[in-house]
Homo-oligomer: A and B are copies of this chain.
Amino acid sequence: MSVLTLGTVAFDTIETPFGSSGKVVGGAASYIALAVSQFVRKQHLVSVIGEDFPQEFLTELSGRGTCLNGLSLVKGGKSFHWSGKYHQDMVQRDTLATDLNVLVGWEPKVCKSGNKADFVMLGNLDPEVQLAVLDQVNAPQVVVLDTMNFWMDIAMENLKKVISRVDVLTVNDEEARQLTGEYFLPKAARAIHKMGPKTVVIKKGEHGALMFQDNKVFFAPAFPLEEVIDPTGAGDTFAGGFIGYLASRQEATGEVTWEDMKQAVVVGSVMASFTCEAFGTSKLRGLSMVDVQQRWREYTKLTESGLISWPKG
């Protein structure tokens, strides 16, 4: 199984009430690719960087089985840079700077083997770029789309085109409401089903994630961390863990069931919890599968309520 990952590979500068990151490697595809690489050894990255981007990070991605043929390097260009400041609640944030740099005018190119990817992860980016990538992939089995309110504000028409072509949409609760005009999430999910995606994952940050498919619903809490250092990239990491796990199940069993999807939400939540524990990608880069399995075991205890029968009234 191979996964094609689209998104930014970039720099972030982050301030929280508890500290500052300085300029660190970030970008949706950086988080996604690192998370996917825990589960799948064949990944194609589609992104763009400038000459300022550290080779060492790319070497690490390569070492984790990521093909970089779809990663454009703009000579003399500067990588995308986002800067933001979190409020006291570590959820709300203000954008301080968005330097598009090499993203301007970039036309994504999927390499020859990337064209045949079985799983496609469209990380948060301009819907036009997401469409351009979808057009270059032959017959993916599962396409997952992550997006955000920004694109709903300025590119709703193109966004709806992408949405109509994907299997799974992941958005946060406010975005699900904005996209559909429905306040209550089960209704919002049904409205999104009608736009195309059979499966809708609503990410609620520290409050966990809800997944809807037909009349089925599944909930996974966020891992209750002792401390959140920086939530940036948690949603991307979730998406990477989600699709990476699905791809590994497809490889192991030849199919992706509802049970697999549920476990994928759990895996995504587990992976995202690591990202929150440090600035940037640093925690994710140092992870071994042993760390991941250990947290997963702790995590599964979180909602195991046993099978005590209901008392007679």
Contacts and interface: CB of A to CB of B under 8 A. Distances in A.
A74 interface: no
Contact of A293 (B292, B300, B310): B310
Contacts of A312: 289
A300 B311 contact: no
Contacts of A311: 39, 245, 248-249, 252
A296 B308 contact: no
A246 to B, nearest CB: 10
Contact of A266 (B90, B293, B305): B305
B219 A224 contact: yes
A221 B224 contact: no
Interface string A260-289: 101101100000000000000000000001
Interface majority SS (helix, strand, loop, mixed), chain A: mixed
Contacts of A226: 184, 186-187
Given A204-B207, A310-B293, A311-B248, A186 B225 contact: yes
Contacts of A224: 185-186, 210, 217, 219
A153 interface: no
A53 interface: no
Interface string A183-210: 1111100000000000000001001101
A269 B33 CA distance: 37
Given A208-B221, A302-B218, A308-B260, A39 B184 contact: no
Contacts of A43: none
A259 B308 contact: yes
B308 A38 contact: no
Contacts of A76: none
A313 interface: yes
A303 B306 contact: no
A56 interface: no
A87 to B, nearest CB: 12
Nearest to A290: B313
A175 to B, nearest CB: 15
Contacts of A313: 38-39, 289, 292
Contacts of A293: 310
Nearest to A207: B207
